[in-house]
Chains A and B, each alone.
Chain A
Amino acid sequence: MLGVGVLKGLGETARNFFGSYFSKERLTTVQYPEQRIPTVENARVFPFLVYDGPEWDAGMRCVACQICEKECPPKCIYIEKSKDKKPDYVGKQQFYPARFDIDVSVCMSCQICVEVCPFEAIKMDTAFELATDDRFGGLLQDRKQLAKSNEYYHQIHPTEAAEVDGRLAEEKAKLEAKAKAAAEAAAAKAAAAKAAAAKPAEGEK
């Protein structure tokens, strides 16, 4: 009969209307500034620079190789390489970024900088409240603002950070083993040379 569908629809909306006052499951709204849902581990908003240890400028992993700057599709990264060098996490002398700026208003959160970084130095942050009342300075974050500790990285992306740490430790161990092997080889060589040097002396006898 004509109008039955309309009545059914009216019943449905009435059920929603009254139901929203009684059952909490119906109202899924999170009243944002007061209520928050915890950020998801895979969330990515804006890149930051990881540093190890207590001091941000001493422990910064970035070696200013400028790959991310070149790969960034909207070109929001600006890097100036340093003149001098400082030791990295394995103790090797490396350059460091004298300037490292990212423009919040240009970044499109594509994560390409993270993917191309060979030094695990740049990662995605989950903090999303980047709004500022300063149009120019506020939206351009310098290296000090971008630097965040490895502990913070562990906090926001535990799984990923553990993997990264494992990889770095492995690399470090490999390097150490190589260095050790090299040292051993050098020692053996030295010993051999010594032995060789000693032999003719014996022959002389």
Chain B
Amino acid sequence: MIQTLDQIFVLFKNWLVGFLPAGWQVAAGVVLCVIAIIAVYPALFAIAVLLERKGLGRMQNRYGPNRVGPFGLFQPVADGIKALVKEDIVPLRADRVVHFLAPVVLVPIVFMGFAVLPMGRHMVLVNMDSGLLFFFAMGASTELAVFMAGWSSRNKYSLLGAMRAIAQMISYEVVLLLSSVAVVMIAGSLSLVKIVESQNHYTGIFPHWYVFTPWGLAGFLIFVVASTAETNRSPFDLPEGESEIVAGYFTEYSGFKFALFFLGEYVEMFAVAALGTTLFLGGWTAPFSFLGWVPTWIWFFAKILTWICVFIWFRGTLPRLRQDQLMNFAWKFVLPFSLLNLVVVALWRFLGPGWEQWVICSAILLVAYVVMGRTAFTLKNIGPRKYRYAE
């Protein structure tokens, strides 16, 4: 019974595919999985938007939306209808084709990442040996759509937003990769399915998730920071900083195209959250050994939602960074720290199991964190600002 519930989606798919002739079964199975992914994540998007608006409201001591349906639960439906019926405006001087293509390119790309993510035991669309690589390739492609949007709008705010977005995404992409490499070094595989399997052991009741090791915790924190920046979420939401550049690369988008961008942004957030879950939080594995009877897909989606709640929490708390602060943080603190983390991972591997690896690795990371935190952000040229005027 527990087995059936765990594998219910896989069994359902096999049952449906069974009606077809043998030659069609593989293709039909893939199409079914794709349909499932395309249905589930927009639904999650609706939930996340509602959660975000309600949660932010509560953090600011407001109610949040509570008018549409009981407790405002149908707010996403109303928002969706609004987005659909709004006028779609294209600026007169804009490059119409590219302007139209930008959201169309973005959405498939962000959905592509889910192809390699295991959402439960045996619930993965393609068990690719280099799944992580595929995921990052797809994640990096979103920058193309962002720049298409910014450039084709022929608007200074759009272009500024797109340039900020590119600068930020590339900087943090490096960090995101480096923090993931740590996991790859220990798991010995780029396949996300294998990475989850390698965390699916328990000592007593506690799981062997990578976040519960010194290097894993450091990598996890770096990953959280980098993924927040990668998805343009607050406090790294400079590309669409509405107080400075209207809405960044969204400025000239309205109606359904804007909704597509919005969807793309959230789905990317889910994708990054899912990857972080897979790498550090054990993917679909249960947090305690005695909870193993709960279906694995429940754990996976529970972890994603928790991650989303943390993102919302960040957004409700932290003010937006300045562009130079953002870059300083990426290149002067996070990047050296993640490089150091790679060295620590290597040490962890070669010290072998025992208390020494815990003490040494924790000590190195802690000392580095404190020292770098003290030194990396000290401003050198403090004093009255000197102005030079044209003579």
Contact = CB atoms under 8 A, between A and B. Distances in A.
A35 B116 CA distance: 52
A17 interface: yes
A10 B313 contact: yes
A2 B373 contact: yes
Contact of A14 (B61, B63, B313, B333): B313
A21 B313 contact: no
Interface size class of A (residues with CB under 8 A): 10 to 19
A166 to B, nearest CB: 45
Contact of B59 (A1, A16, A27, A28): A16
A13 B369 contact: no
A13 B313 contact: yes
A87 interface: no
Interface residues of B, number: 19
B61 A10 contact: no
Interface in B298-322: 313-314, 316-318
Contact of B373 (A3, A17, A19): A3
A39 B228 CA distance: 45
Contacts of A19: 61
Contact of A29 (B63, B314, B317): B63
B58 interface: yes
Contacts of B373: 1-3
Contacts of B317: 6, 9-10, 12-13
A27 B54 CA distance: 13
Contacts of A17: 55, 58-59, 313, 316
Contacts of B59: 13, 16-17
A34 to B, nearest CB: 11
Nearest to B366: A1
B316 A13 contact: yes
B328 interface: no
A28 B318 CA distance: 23
B323 interface: no
A20 B58 contact: yes
Contacts of A13: 59, 313, 316-317
A6 B61 contact: no
Nearest to A23: B61
B62 A27 contact: yes
A21 B58 contact: yes
Contacts of A12: 317
A9 B316 CA distance: 9
A18 to B, nearest CB: 8
B365 to A, nearest CB: 13
A167 interface: no
A6 B318 CA distance: 7
Contacts of B314: 10
A9 B55 contact: no
Nearest to A3: B373
B60 interface: yes
Nearest to A6: B318
Interface string B71-101: 0000000000000000000000000000000
A170 B374 CA distance: 78
Contacts of A29: 62-63
Given A6-B318, A9-B318, A13-B313, A1 B60 contact: no
Contacts of B61: 16, 19-20, 26-28
Contacts of A20: 58, 61
A19 to B, nearest CB: 8
Contacts of A9: 317-318
Contacts of A2: 333, 369-370, 372-374, 377
Nearest to B310: A10
A27 B63 contact: yes
Nearest to B59: A13
Nearest to B333: A2
Contacts of A26: 61
Given A16-B58, A17-B59, A20-B58, A1 B370 contact: yes
19 contacts: A2-B374, A6-B317, A6-B318, A9-B317, A9-B318, A12-B317, A13-B59, A13-B313, A14-B313, A16-B59, A16-B61, A17-B313, A17-B316, A19-B61, A21-B58, A26-B61, A27-B61, A27-B62, A29-B62
Given A9-B318, A17-B316, A20-B58, 9 more contacts: A9-B317, A10-B317, A12-B317, A16-B61, A21-B58, A26-B61, A27-B62, A29-B62, A29-B63
Interface of B: 55, 58-63, 313-314, 316-318, 333, 369-370, 372-374, 377
The 3 closest A-B pairs by CB, nearest first: A2-B373, A13-B317, A13-B59
